[in-house]
Amino acid sequence: MKARTPILAGIGQTRFTRWNDATTPSELQLACEAVLAAADDAGVPVESIDGVASFGGDRTEPPILQAALGLPELRLSAMLWGGGGGGSCGAVQLAAMAVQSGAADCVVVVRSLSQGQTGRYGLYDPNWWHASFTHPFGLLAASALLALTMRRHMHEYGTTSRQMAAFAMACREHAHRNPHALMRDRSLDLETYMASRMIADPFRLFDCCLESNGACAVLVVPWERARDLRRAPVQLLAAVHGASDGWSTGPMGSFNQPLDQFCTTGAAHLAADLYARASISASDLDVAQLYDNFTGIAMLSMEDFGLCGRGESGPFVEGGATRWPTGSIPVNTHGGNLSEAYVHGLTHVAEGVRQIRGSSTCQVPGAQLCLVTGGPGPAPTSALVLGAV
């Protein structure tokens, strides 16, 4: 391995709470807690952190974090453009690029949400691009925008609500084993799913991710520092972010895409690039953490990233392929955004690290390769592959 090969050295997270929990600390405090936890997990001094990267318009600006934590030197202050969780893996890519080039030596990726302090996330934002062509028609948020994609997928391929329920229930079962998951004690069966209120048809309440407070942090260092680490190093085999041609010309991207790309997350090209860079194919993966903003949209990610064929995600999840421990490729072994917590998917990267370390609460035995994806729908989106060293 080359000296500057990026290693995921530490992960940290705060306690997760519901979005309207009045006891949650400020976003800045949550960010500090998560960064300290990641440094402690890695066994590196906090003072050695010299870079910060984030995404999704996180409000914790790196110089403020530097001031709050007393970091002596800041060499990277990076933000991946794009809303929502699209950039979760892309922010890790920015950190890795800085480490690989030598621009910085110990970069933390952090995402923090405290909605009691800042207002509920995901409500109407008048500053969206192309807003005049969506908002006056009542398309105000991701649920309705992506419901349009899902409705057409159901029309084309016969995907059903029962199939989306199967994915939601698998994630919930994983969360039952995760002591940090917000829904660890809440069971979900088909009857409860079907009886839940409609949000934006075809998405019911239990198709939608949680709304949470909390922070998560991931620490990236070069391989040459691996011997100083407390934990077994996890290699970042490849990370990519991007958008395909035309994906941004329309709200949430896909509206002007030809039919063969309309019912997708626009990430098929990104997946091919990712696997080529990691020198793997989808069939080599042991486990995957897919950004689950909505059940059905995570299923479209399964198709784009080649876990199943185009249009086959419904039968794929209904047949139990993504359910731990019996499925052929367990997905979201922490419970995901649907059942663990919604910290814009950086928690998926942390769970990927746990799988490669062998420390997940739904551990895939001997997991060597883990796919992690960023939020599907917005542009850019992102993805990465983690591997054992």
Partner 1 sequence: MSYLPHAAPVPDPEPWEAGFWRLCAEHRLCFQRCTACGHVRHPPLPCCPRCRCFESGWIEATDDAELYTYTIVHHALHPSLRDAVPYNAVVVAFPALAWIRLVSNIINCPPEQLRIGMPLRVCWDVAGNGRILPRFEPKPRLRS
| Catalytic machinery residues | 291, 342
Which DSSP category does 5 fall into?
-
What is the nearest approach in angstroms of partner 1 to the Cβ of residue 296? 12
Q: Which of 4, 18, 151, 180 binds partner 1 (CB under 8 A)?
A: 151
Neighbours of 266 (CB within 10 A): 28
Q: Is residue 46 involved in binding partner 1 (CB under 8 A)?
A: no
What is the nearest approach in angstroms of partner 1 to the Cβ of residue 122? 8
Residues with Cβ < 8 Å from 12, sequence gap 6 or more? 33, 34, 35, 36, 37, 38, 39, 40, 41, 216, 217, 218, 219
Q: Which is nearer to partner 1, 228 or 245 (CB)?
A: 245
Residues with Cβ < 8 Å from 60, sequence gap 6 or more? 27, 28, 31, 54, 110, 112
Instruction: Look at the chain and count its residues.
Output: 389
What is the nearest approach in angstroms of partner 1 to the Cβ of residue 225? 44
Measure the N-to-C terminal CA separation of the chain; round to a whole number of Å.
9
Q: Which of 199, 232, 268, 272 binds partner 1 (CB under 8 A)?
A: 199
Distance CA 175, CA 278 (A): 29
Q: Which is nearer to partner 1, 178 or 265 (CB)?
A: 265
Looking at 23-31, 96-104, 129-137, 183-191, which segment touches partner 1 (CB under 8 A)?
129-137
Distance CA 61, CA 65 (A): 6
Q: Is residue 293 involved in binding partner 1 (CB under 8 A)?
A: no
**Interface mask (CB under 8 A) for partner 1, residues 237-276, using x and -?**
---------x--xxx---xx-x---x--------------
Q: Is residue 315 involved in binding partner 1 (CB under 8 A)?
A: no
Looking at 13-21, 103-111, 147-155, 358-366, which segment touches partner 1 (CB under 8 A)?
147-155
Instruction: For residue 320, give Cα distances in angstroms to 5, 167, 289, 314, 331.
Output: 36, 8, 16, 10, 10
Instruction: Please report, as ranges, the residues that interact with partner 1 according to CB under 8 A.
Output: 122-124, 126, 130-141, 143-144, 147-149, 151-152, 155, 197-202, 246, 249-251, 255-256, 258, 262
